[in-house]
Amino acid sequence: MHFDFQVAWESLPKLLAGTATTFAVLLPVLVIGLLLAIPVALACFRPGARSVFAGAYIGFFRGVPSLVLLYLIYSGLPQFPIVRETFLWKVFSNAYVCAWLGLALTHSGYLAEIIRGGLAAVPKGTLEAAETLGLKPRQILFRLRLPLVARYIIRAYQNELLIMVKSTAAVSAITLVDLTAAANTVFDYTYDPFTPLITAAAIYWCITNSIRLGFSAADRKLNRYLVKT
């Protein structure tokens, strides 16, 4: 078994098309996951039912495998008449929508826990000083707490993002041809499992290391005034 450069070159357009699908899934997932995670993380600090709901939300979506969620949304929801016989059928018959929702729910569960930890790390004295200066709660949240949280969680968020990049391979189970599925398609007609999978791995390596370098640069910028001990 050897690496065939000709097969790699000829299959590159198909693999790049699969890469485009990977990003078409990943980017909306990151946005939707963030929009879901922030209010859930904030609810963790609210006493009563909201805190209980937030804890249950985080625990559930961190515990359920993303592949199971994808199957439940793509194959399970259409079994209900309210979905099959209404406008929701057009929504959930779209594999992209199911992929976005399934992966975003998983991502939001992990991200909410990361953000919750970042919010808990904000010094109480800093918040009290902001209140003393007359800042309103909304101003404190968006101008102080969340920017500080971004500094605290950037490394943890990088790890979650890298995991999510690799988790997009699960969307091949609901008919989307992502990078991994494209590599398997090349294997099907070339009978060469080594070359397309190594090429796909190289593309994943480039993506993940580009993300890692970008986060390292952002970390240096956000924490450039942090005193190291």
Q: Whats the size of the chain, residue-wise?
A: 229
Task: Pick the more confident residue, 148 or 223.
Answer: 148
pLDDT tens per residue, range 48-63? 899 999 999 999 999 9
What's the domain count of the chain? 1
Task: Say if 73 falls within a structural domain.
Answer: yes
Output the pLDDT for position 27: 96
pLDDT tens per residue, range 6-42? 888 999 999 999 999 999 999 999 999 999 999 999 9
Average pLDDT of the chain is 91
Output the pLDDT for position 57: 96
Task: Say if 229 falls within a structural domain.
Answer: no
Q: Is the pLDDT of residue 227 over 60?
A: no
Output the pLDDT for position 219: 86
Q: What is the 3-state secondary structure (H, E, C) of the chain?
A: CCCCHHHHHHHHHHHHHHHHHHHHHHHHHHHHHHHHHHHHHHHCCCCCHHHHHHHHHHHHHHHCCHHHHHHHHHHHHHHCHHHHCCCHHHHHCCHHHHHHHHHHHHHHHHHHHHHHHHHHHCCHHHHHHHHHCCCCHHHHHHHHHHHHHHHHHHHHHHHHHHHHHHHHHHHHHHCCCCHHHHHHHHHHHHCCCHHHHHHHHHHHHHHHHHHHHHHHHHHHHHCCCCCCC
Q: Considering the chain, what percentage of its residues have pLDDT values greater than 70?
A: 97
pLDDT tens per residue, range 152-201? 999 899 999 999 999 999 999 999 999 999 999 999 888 888 999 999 99
Task: Say if 215 falls within a structural domain.
Answer: yes
CATH of the domain at 40: 1.10.3720.10
Output the pLDDT for position 221: 84
- Name the token pair of 57: 């939300």
Output the pLDDT for position 1: 64
Task: Say if 228 falls within a structural domain.
Answer: no
Mean pLDDT of 98-109: 96
Output the pLDDT for position 225: 67
Output the pLDDT for position 226: 61
Q: Is the pLDDT of residue 43 over 50?
A: yes
Task: Say if 173 falls within a structural domain.
Answer: yes
Output the pLDDT for position 229: 46
Task: Say if 69 falls within a structural domain.
Answer: yes
For 154, left (φ over 0), alpha (ψ -120 to 50), or beta?
A: alpha
Output the pLDDT for position 83: 87
User: Which domain range does residue 170 map to?
Assistant: 5-223
Task: Say if 30 falls within a structural domain.
Answer: yes
Task: Say if 161 falls within a structural domain.
Answer: yes
> How far, in Å, CA of 103 to CA of 25, rounded?
9
Q: Is the pLDDT of residue 3 over 90?
A: no
